[in-house]
Structure 1
Amino acid sequence: MPRLLRPARVLLLGPPGSGKGTQTERLLKHFEIPGISSGDILRRHIKDGTEIGQLASSIINKGKLLPDDLMTKVVASELRRRRWLSPSTSWLLDGFPRTHAQAEMLDSQELEPAKAGMNLVVELQVSEDAMLDRIANRLVHVPSGRVYNLTYNPPKVPGRDDITGEPLSRRPDDDPAVFRKRLKEYRASTEPLVEYYKKSGDVLWSVAGETSDVIFAQLEREVVRRFGERGDESSERDSEAAGAAD
């Protein structure tokens, strides 16, 4: 199991069908990085009837999108609850931020004051044909959000969730015409976000590939290079020795 030598605060960006959920799950397990999903947090607030949950529920029931400041508040409250707003912590955010405004709010209001800025933003680049193939083979356990793929991650029992045994279903928006509309909307909202992180030094890193295994192999190497490579550890020791000699 690779060991991180430095804190890694990671965000994965990817259009629908890019395999972002699969890469997130593998990254969390492989490096034992803790993560939070904005969707899971929001569902918990709604279920528990918190002030945030009640407000979010009223907005969602009207068919509207949650405003950026509310989503930022939801994620920030969870980061504080887990005491992750620290320069020494590692974590992965799933599903947030989605827009330039959300990223700017999160950085200026929460991460920068805590010196806990994002230090790796991964942009997944997958061909449209590959994404269409994935959504055509995708099944979802709606209550939990667990996702399966009939090609490379099938359920143990056909049509049933591995953990609960409940029926799996297809997302209503897993349709080619709907997918292309979602892809267009994703690109419109994400391109400014990508540009924002491009200006944040060596934070943004893009990876391309047609399969999850190909992408994850590259992702693993990059995480190790940035946060856990032995060579970097040796370089740090050499620098310290050089400084002592001076």
Structure 2
Amino acid sequence: MRLILLGPPGAGKGTQAQRLVERHGIPQLSTGDMLRAAVANGTEVGKRAKAVMDSGQLVSDEIVNQIVSERIDQPDAARGFILDGFPRTVPQAEALTQMLADKGQKLDAVIELKVDESALVSRMEKRVAETLASGGKVRADDNPESFKKRLNEYREKTAPLSAYYASTGELVTLDGMADMDTVTAEIEKALHANA
């Protein structure tokens, strides 16, 4: 199963990804984790990424695409994967489609969790309160101002992926405002329908 989860910050992608990882035994591939691993392992592309990051620049799509390509070739991703934080833009999505085609693979689904953005702020505040109550550490960007910036960035850069994947026929849109178990069940139903 090769899957992308789309949706704005706070939509529940992380929770659903963890459930899919546990249920299907496939890895969740985070762009940040992949980038750090490539740098730490000193791979050729990791060295290029490190040089760019050390200079304070953003890593190019070309480097990110290569890191993703190398990561999905790893044995633990042979049965599938969930992409987290990639693609972020339509050019990255187009590169992913070509990359998978070159490997004789394709996405099984792109699941978009549609949510009421105004409700997301209260969802984020609830998550912060629950994290603090359990003695956990709160993300530095889990505050209303940062959260609104992340929402705006999502709308500008990542939301166009919906239209792209709708045009390829891979997009499945689900109600991300439903309770977690209902969303999980709907994702499983969508995956079986596309299987």
Q: TM-score, length-normalised on structure 1?
A: 0.69
- The higher radius of gyration belongs to 1
Q: 1:130: how far off?
A: 3.3
Q: Which residue of 1 aligns with 2:175?
A: 208
Q: 1:123: how far off?
A: 0.7
Q: 1:220: how far off?
A: 1.9
Q: Is the 8 A contact 2:29 2:83 kept in 1?
A: yes
Q: 1:135: how far off?
A: 2.4
Q: Which residue of 2 aligns with 1:12?
A: 5
The structure whose residues are more often helix, as a share, is 2
Q: Which residue of 1 aligns with 2:35?
A: 42
Q: 1:84: how far off?
A: 5.2
Of residues 115, 121, 135 in structure 1, which corresponds to 2:124? 135
Q: 1:29: how far off?
A: 1.4
Q: Which residue of 2 aligns with 1:158?
A: 134
Partners of 1:135 and 1:55 in 2: CA distance: 36
Partners of 2:68 and 2:114 in 1: CA distance: 26
Q: Is the 8 A contact 2:49 2:59 kept in 1?
A: yes
Return the letter of the residue paired with 2:86.
F
Change (3 A) 1:183 1:62: farther
Alignment of 1:1-246 (within 5 A): 8-82=1-75, 89-108=79-98, 110-138=99-127, 150=130, 158-159=134-135, 168-201=136-169, 203-210=170-177, 211-227=179-195
Return the letter of the residue paired with 1:64.
Q
Q: Is the 8 A contact 2:27 2:76 kept in 1?
A: no
Gaps of 5+ in 2: none
Q: 1:63: how far off?
A: 4.3
Residue-by-residue CA offset, 1:69-108 (whole Å, 9 max, x unaligned): 11111000112233857xxx43322221111111111222
Partners of 2:10 and 2:82 in 1: CA distance: 20
Q: Which SS does the other structure have where 1:30 is aligned?
A: helix
Gaps of 5+ in 1: 1-7, 140-148, 160-167, 228-246
The RMSD of aligned alpha carbons is: 2.5
Q: Percent identity?
A: 38
Q: 1:49: how far off?
A: 3.4
